[in-house]
Chain A
């Protein structure tokens, strides 16, 4: 198994921005994540792959304090700029979430209110993090959407969620996470509910976020193709354990663990 040192090298000596140290996570006393360590560096995209129930979503939810009532980080630390996130008070966490660490989910479209226009909803979430004039907001959001290569931003902002396709709603979800220009973007299966064409659009959008905004990204996905396309480093999870960790290319071309080998061989690729 590649160590954290190998991964550090791959990120060209950039600073660690989020560090997991020997993290255990339990739900109602049942351990679901066991002794996981990795580091996310500035500007890096880390992919976490594994199948349902392997603990990959739980891992990134822990950083946001979104484990829910029964969930607890029972051992280890999650460091972000000198703060051990599981110990950060709720009020401080409310400020960090969204402004500094943002998260997007598998179906961001479901998080949108069905009866209000997209522009109104995005403005409201902006107000939660401070004052912004509507005109200034509209200018900023239009610029953001244009950079993320949305066509026809006025129409999108004036639409209700049901007037947009699932893929478009997901891209809006990602754009809304980027409104506060967070340092870290955590993405939990952002393409899994989409067909291949919409998936490609979302992947392209995430690439722009990485290249233009230099946001550090963790993407949780069970799709090896998406991980290969986006991530610099790859962490493979199996039954709550990290079974492999290293530069994406090394892990995919020369997998060390039996599980990673099985995972890669299960992918039914296109024979071009």
Chain B
């Protein structure tokens, strides 16, 4: 496969319908298609309830798609399960909005970060060394290895979550509102960290964010979602300066 021309991730006509008891079906994601090319960082923008996270959850295979297809490195992963799903997660990892809640509260940060390495068959000694290296890569000292999630700040915890995501050197990183719960000063540090790691490790990124300013700052291209549909796509700078869709205009006007 030619890495430069074929998309790393290809989403075609993806749809998610939630059945609701006694109420009409809810179409959370409606016929969404996009490609993410090698090394590209694609932003998905939209307000709460627009379907951004549902798209991410379908791609990460946390939930099943109702229809449509998801292709990663040319392989159809729409219905991946068992061993093939484990393979998907070796190539694709996720960073979530709430760092504390994304960790097992009873596991030390170092153990959580090293879990995927242990599962991949690395020896205990090597895991320890690698976790220490990963911690320093995200700007945390080795002192954080034995700490529990509740013993560190939100920003430190998110750095640890990034270390955990990159531990098995995935080719693709999905960030779902990864910096939304952080203070501005911490947010700008974490964004700088993500940018450096994506560049150094040659990762492709899907960056889900309701903050259009952040997407403009961070992403190469962007799509705007409303009510489960894509209403606009293009370079973030073009979208901000010359929005075509009324909803996008409203979104931009709302930024203070």
Contacts and interface: CB of A to CB of B under 8 A. Distances in A.
A52 B211 contact: no
Contacts of A53: 153
A200 B48 contact: no
Nearest to B210: A195
B256 A52 contact: no
A267 B191 CA distance: 12
Interface string B191-224: 1000000000000000000111110110000000
B185 interface: yes
B20 interface: no
Interface stretch (B5-13, B57-65, B124-132, B247-255): B247-255
Nearest to A166: B48
Interface string A261-272: 011001111111
A268 B187 contact: yes
Interface string A189-232: 00000111111100100000000000000000011111011000
Interface residues of A, number: 30
A196 B175 CA distance: 19
Contacts of A270: 212-213, 216, 240, 252, 255
Contacts of A166: 48
Given A52-B153, A198-B47, A225 B185 contact: no
A124 interface: no
Given A225-B255, A268-B191, A52 B217 contact: no
A198 B256 contact: no
Interface centre among A53, A165, A225, A266 (most CB of B within 10 A): A266
A222 B155 CA distance: 14
A35 interface: no
Contacts of B216: 270-271
A197 B212 contact: no
Contacts of A167: 48
A51 interface: yes
B61 to A, nearest CB: 26
Given A52-B154, A263-B185, A267-B184, A199 B241 contact: no
A166 B254 CA distance: 17
Interface in B225-256: 237, 240-241, 250-256
A263 B185 CA distance: 6
Contacts of B183: 51-52, 222
A194 B256 CA distance: 13
A222 B188 CA distance: 13
A203 B217 CA distance: 24
A116 B241 CA distance: 45
Contact of B256 (A165, A195, A200, A272): A200
17 contacts: A51-B184, A52-B154, A53-B153, A165-B49, A167-B48, A196-B210, A197-B47, A200-B256, A222-B183, A222-B184, A225-B255, A262-B185, A263-B185, A267-B188, A268-B188, A268-B214, A271-B216
The 3 nearest A-B residue pairs measured at CB: A225-B256, A51-B183, A200-B254
Interface of B: 47-49, 153-154, 183-188, 191, 210-214, 216-217, 237, 240-241, 250-256
Given A52-B154, A222-B184, A271-B237, 14 more contacts: A52-B183, A196-B210, A196-B211, A196-B256, A197-B47, A197-B251, A197-B254, A203-B256, A223-B256, A226-B256, A266-B187, A268-B184, A268-B188, A271-B240
